[in-house]
Amino acid sequence: MENIINFLFQKRIIAPILILVFTGILVKSSKAIINTLFTKGKDNYEKKKRVTIIELTTKIFKFFVYAIAIMMILDIYGVDTKGIIASLGIAGVVLGFALQDTVQDLMSGIYIILENYYVIGDIIRINNFEGEVIEVSLKSTKVRSPSGEVYIFSNRNVNAVVNLSQARAGVKILLPTAYEEKTEKVENAILEILKEAKKIKDVEKDSSYLGIDSLDSSCINYAIIIYCKSTEQWRIKRMVLKIIKEIYETQNIKIPYNQIEVHNGKENL
């Protein structure tokens, strides 16, 4: 028993275990502490921005903590860590030239955060893809569309991005209406639609009727613009479309739809 205890308490056994335990505790507690310090008492947008920064800094912190822990353990076993560090420095220079795109991604990731391009939770449009930012790393950004697709793009490719969360959203909605419906009747119905739409939470009062948008082959397209909170435009659009259908049905205003007429090829006798 004494031999087992002596074996377990050798520096080569107990020291690596203590280093790993301390490293794990440090990594787990650091994010909670940083999160509390950086988000307390801030508004929602500032919290989102700081959460993004916390995610990035935590990843960097974990990398350095684990690297130091590994070096300490290797040093305990007599490995020349100074030689490894020197070798890594030379290898880093070589890799820097070989992985220029990766280095560019990392620098762009830092620039995106510092310049406040977007943060986790923002709604953005990039390369004709629109959705919510769900992850920002130093190398790439993940954006999820309302239908669930996730678009992952390298940070170096972010040269033109529209941040819809830093301004209100304007949702243009077309109301296809049959030609035989009187314009005055339709416009009165649209005013009622707007009145109901403005009762929806996050819809702004300057939402308005734009007029006739186009004259199509089977219908007249009237248009309205709904201004709302940028992150709620899809939900609000669905609610407004429901209001349009209900009011059109109540007032017997026809919404045209495509119809197919089938002939059997025989002449009527």
d(CA 200, CA 252): 24
pLDDT at position 164, please?
74
Structure tokens at 14: 């107990």
- Kindly state whether residue 148 falls inside one of the protein's structural domains: yes
Q: For the whole model, what pTM was predicted? A: 0.47
CATH code of 235's domain:
3.30.70.100
More confident of the two residues 75 and 215: 215
DSSP-derived 3-state class of residue 267 = coil
225 domain-assigned: yes
Number of structural domains, the chain? 3
pLDDT tier at 70, thresholds 50, 70, 90: confident
Quick check: is 53 in a domain? yes
In a domain, 255, yes or no: no
Rounded mean pLDDT, 108-133: 76
193, 246: one domain: yes
- Residue 122 CA to residue 45 CA, distance in Å, equals 9
Q: What is the mean pLDDT of the chain?
A: 77
Q: Give pLDDT, residue 226.
A: 93
Any residues with CB less than 8 A from the CB of 85 and at least 6 apart, and which? 71
- The mean pLDDT value for 114-133 works out to 79
Looking at the structure, do residues 69 and 129 belong to the same domain, yes or no?
A: no
Structural domain that includes position 237: 169-250
Above 90 in pLDDT, residue 195? yes
The answer to whether residue 7 scores a pLDDT higher than 50 is: no
Residue 224 pLDDT level (bands cut at 50, 70, 90): very high
Question: Average pLDDT of 71-93?
Answer: 67
Q: Minimal CA–CA distance to 181: which of 222, 242, 210, 209?
A: 222
Which one of 40, 71, 98 terminates a domain?
Answer: 98
Q: What is the pLDDT of residue 254?
A: 93
